[in-house]
Amino acid sequence: MIKAEQKPLEEILLYLKSYDRILLSGCGACVTVCQAGGEKEVGLLASALRMARMKMGTPLEALEATPARQCEPEFAAELSETVEKVEAVLSVACGVGVQTLARHFPKTPVFPGVNTTFLGETVTHGVWEERCQACGNCILERTGGVCPVARCAKQLFNGPCGGSSKGKCEIKREADCAWQLIYDRLNGLGQLYRMEEIIPARRWGVESRDSGLRRIVREDLKV
């Protein structure tokens, strides 16, 4: 799922300094799971903002809402009535959600309340780690289900760089070396021979974000 972290309160206060009435909108999906922008966090952030603005002598009225998925137009539409009552929206959904609201409400400024960081999984309670960079051509079949695009600091496709120490990455010491994980996994599967294959250079400029905006069109689903 998409992972995000709340922006510093000071930064958010700066965005909102010329507004007295805002909507603080969360999202019931990914950011709820990573506890950055769900209903609970919306409540906490709204209180923190109200208190801070009270202290500054410029009280802030903050309405709260948490649609099920802020990145879907029909859920954004549900916010229409509330948005009409406010001067600006602070969204603590991921960057996609922020843009859905911005597109939907052309006359209302929409600010991001979180930094969207990565597509990741929960490692343990309170710890999330990047797992996928949406590279556009998944090669997990060749690497034992461990992604070298997201998890190897040098995005190597043909084995380790030689710098890992005790299974940890030489660039990010706290992270496991992706190629150690790939080796362990292929070894466990009895498929070490797969490391002998040369994985050719990726077609970054065709498949990945480097080709410009990517888009999926499913004719069978269009109405």
Binding interface with another protein (CB under 8 A) = 153-165, 170-171, 179, 183, 187, 195-196, 198-201, 204
Question: Considering only residues 164, 182, 186, 195, which one is a binding residue for ligand SF4 as defined by CB under 6 A?
Answer: 164
**What is the sign, positive or negative, of the torsion defined by CA atoms of 29, 43, 124, 93?**
positive
For the CA atoms of the chain, what is the radius of gyration? 22
Nearer to ligand SF4, 113 or 148 (CB): 148
Least Å distance, CB 197 to another protein, is 9
Counting residues that bind ligand SF4 (by CB under 6 A) gives 24
Cβ at position 142, least distance to ligand SF4 in Å: 9
**Nearest Cα residue to 145 out of 158, 132, 163, 154:** 132
Residue closer to another protein (CB basis): 9 or 132: 132
- Smallest gap from residue 72 Cβ to ligand SF4 (A): 23
Distance CA 181, CA 127 (A): 19
Of 117 and 155, CB closest to another protein: 155
Binder of residue 135, out of ligand SF4, another protein, none (CB less than 5 to 8 A by kind): ligand SF4
CA gap 158, 141 in Å, rounded: 14
63 token code pair: 């309405």
Tell me which of ligand SF4, another protein, none is bound by residue 178, counting a contact when its beta carbon lies within the kind-specific cut-off of 5 to 8 angstroms: ligand SF4
- The 3-state DSSP class for residue 51 equals helix
Identify residues 125-144 at the interface with ligand SF4 (CB under 6 A): 132-135, 138-140
Question: What's the Cα-to-Cα distance from 189 to each of 33, 97, 156, 185, 220, rounded to whole Å?
Answer: 32, 40, 21, 6, 38
Which of 154, 185, 194, 202: binder of ligand SF4 (CB under 6 A)? 154
Dist. CA 160–CA 148, nearest whole Å: 10
